Chain A
Amino acid sequence: MQFKVLRGDTILKILLATAALFIIGLVVALAAELFLGSASSIHSFGPSFLIGTQWRSSQNVFGALPFIYGTLLTSAIAIVIGFPISLGVAIFISEKLKGHQTFGYGLGIIVDLLAAVPSVIYGLWGVFILIPLLRDYVETPLHNSLGFIPLFSGNPFGYDFFTSGVLLAIMVIPTMSAVTRDVLSVVPNSQREAMYSLGATDWEVTQKSVLPYARSGIFGGFILGLGRAFGETMAVTMVIGNIPNITTNLFSAGATLSSLIANNFGESTGIYQSAIIEIGLILFFVALLVNGLARFMLWRMTSGARGRA
């Protein structure tokens, strides 16, 4: 009996660890591939590649900063808009609709379906519906009333950071809210009951009991959403305007790391291709950095709250 128990545990652990190792292997292989592909670019341009602000492929001038900036800015807009909304949707479905499961299911399924819409459809929709809508009813009023703030100073354009951020927000909401909703619904009811019995209101239960309990899971949804925002290619390419730009003005055309790859990888050769692969490598490191940072913040939060690693 003792022997059998040990064996079952060991087999399971080995199998599961193999799956975990597979992921590490995959990422390492990807990184190796990117390093190999960008070797000649790294060698020729060195660190100036990272801080260069000019990208002129026909003259072999390559600077990645505008694309890094564009990726961070659009993802930030997407998260600022998308995260609270996703959290709200998740709280609504899992906390407010406790007694109306059919409605919650319907809502959940609609939100889930949006994850399956191909990003090119989001892009087409963005070009024909979202851009005119935002330009005429959001950007122009903001510019007219708050134009003195650098963020809104530019002439509203439609093809810009702001539109890309909003479109990304719409695209990450299904991912973030689905995960968050699911995580909230698994919070044991005993957690809620304890709070209610202390006389807490609905919001206090959510705020003080449900959300802290599900914090790590909400973070998981956040990371998945952020990941989608970083990596999203086609839809952003169609609405961002694709002009390398570093400006605080949200109403200005820009470019992201992945839009550059989508636009120009196919036709690139030689050192140009190497430079684009280095853009992929930068994207890899940006993802690494942001994830590391988010992890660190989570660790700080949880170690304060629960005292368990």
Chain B
Amino acid sequence: MGVMTQSDLPASISLWRKILNKLMTILVIVAVVLAIIPLLLILGDVFIRGAPAISIGFLTKLPTAVNVHGGGIANAIVGTFTMVGIASLIAIPIGIGAGIFFSEWSSSRLSMVSGFMNDVLTGFPSIVLGLFVFVILVATTKQFSAFAGGVALSFVMLPIIARTTSESLKLVPNTLREASMALGIPRWKTVLRIVIGTGKNGLLTGILLAVARATGETAPILLTASTSVYFAKSIFAPTASLTVLIYNYGTSASQNWQTQAWGAALVLILIMLAVNLLVKLTVGRNLTGKRLEL
């Protein structure tokens, strides 16, 4: 790689600068340790408490009565996939579109207002978003549904995707855009090429963060998709989800249910791990090397 590092430098640096450099390196490592410890504690806790619940039956069966062991969470897994899928279909195109607009037309008034609103939206408690969708989709149709849950989740995902998209695109040097324009390539092609090329990594991070956040959300689904102990017959019927199941079981009195709640949390994390790895290993990796060459 053509990247220079400090080792290439002559040893003509003053002592103070060396000390500061070491000090900051230590501080950064301390920060990593401080971040990693609670993260590992939580992940470890979920693994330890959740692992005993996991079995083939747990993944493939329907829930049972509280006093009957051997119940599963199959319908909740399907329900979560359905709702996050619906939410992604809505939020990814709109979010990326808005994000591109924020970065490529950053000085336009619309971009400023919408970008601002977008930030406000991220600070909204998801329970209020759930309530909003309840009023417009559930109270009007008298029907809890996976569709309503998906719409509520899409509002959670949207601002995250838009913000990360625009931030990663803003970092693409303007020279790249200018060079492209100078070659007579129309702006729309330039924009798309930048988005698909240089900015793709940031886009992926945004989408993954948003999907992760949506997968872990409880409040919006609780108010819009309700729950069920059966497989939903359509996306317009009350639908179970992992988070609502975790919420209901985790705060219940039953030991059996609490174990299942931790098991479901573990399943949720493992699903996210799989998605993360899959996406990062297939797409993300190629990009790191290519970024500069574009």
Contacts and interface: CB of A to CB of B under 8 A. Distances in A.
Interface of A: 4-5, 8-9, 11-13, 15-24, 26-27, 29-30, 33-34, 84-89, 91-92, 96, 98, 101, 105, 107-122, 124-125, 129-130, 170, 173-175, 177-179, 182-183, 185-189, 192-193, 196-197, 199, 201-204, 206-207, 213-214, 216-217, 220-221, 223-224, 226-228, 230-234, 257-258, 261-262, 265, 280, 283-284, 286-288, 290-292, 295, 309
Interface in B19-54: 20-21, 24-25, 27-32, 34-36, 38-43, 45-46
A290 B123 contact: yes
Contacts of A23: 94, 98, 114, 117-118, 121, 158-159, 162
A203 B16 CA distance: 12
A231 B125 contact: yes
Contact of B218 (A5, A234, A257): A234
A188 B166 CA distance: 17
Given A20-B101, A88-B27, A199 B9 contact: yes
A119 B218 CA distance: 8
B227 interface: no
Given A125-B42, A231-B124, A233-B125, A89 B160 contact: no
Given A101-B288, A183-B171, 20 more contacts: A9-B188, A13-B105, A13-B188, A20-B102, A112-B272, A119-B218, A125-B42, A173-B35, A189-B2, A192-B3, A196-B9, A199-B9, A202-B25, A204-B21, A216-B167, A217-B168, A220-B167, A280-B128, A286-B123, A290-B123
22 contacts: A20-B97, A23-B121, A84-B31, A85-B35, A92-B28, A96-B25, A98-B3, A116-B269, A118-B246, A121-B265, A189-B292, A201-B13, A202-B6, A203-B20, A203-B21, A203-B24, A220-B164, A231-B125, A233-B127, A284-B120, A287-B124, A295-B119
A112 to B, nearest CB: 6
Contact of A129 (B41, B168, B251): B41
B276 interface: yes
B202 A186 contact: yes
A230 B3 contact: no
A19 B8 contact: no
B171 to A, nearest CB: 4
Contacts of B43: 110, 113-114, 117
Contacts of A189: 2-3, 292
A64 B202 CA distance: 39
Interface in B148-185: 155, 158-160, 162-164, 166-168, 170-173
B73 to A, nearest CB: 13
A112 B94 contact: no
Interface SS of chain A: helix, strand, loop or mixed?
Answer: helix
B189 A22 contact: no
B98 A19 contact: yes
B201 A186 contact: yes
B61 interface: no
B293 to A, nearest CB: 11
A59 to B, nearest CB: 25
Contact of A196 (B6, B170, B202): B6
B289 to A, nearest CB: 9
A118 B32 contact: no
Contacts of A125: 41-42, 45
Nearest to B30: A88
A247 B4 CA distance: 52
B5 to A, nearest CB: 7
Q: Which 4 A-B pairs have the closest CB atoms?
A: A88-B31, A19-B97, A227-B122, A287-B123
Most buried by B among A11, A13, A87, A121: A121
Contacts of B172: 186
Nearest to B219: A233
A207 B21 CA distance: 10
B196 interface: no
A108 B251 CA distance: 31
B212 A112 contact: yes
B205 interface: yes
A17 B20 contact: no
B25 to A, nearest CB: 7
A219 to B, nearest CB: 8
Contact of B276 (A112, A119, A227, A291): A112
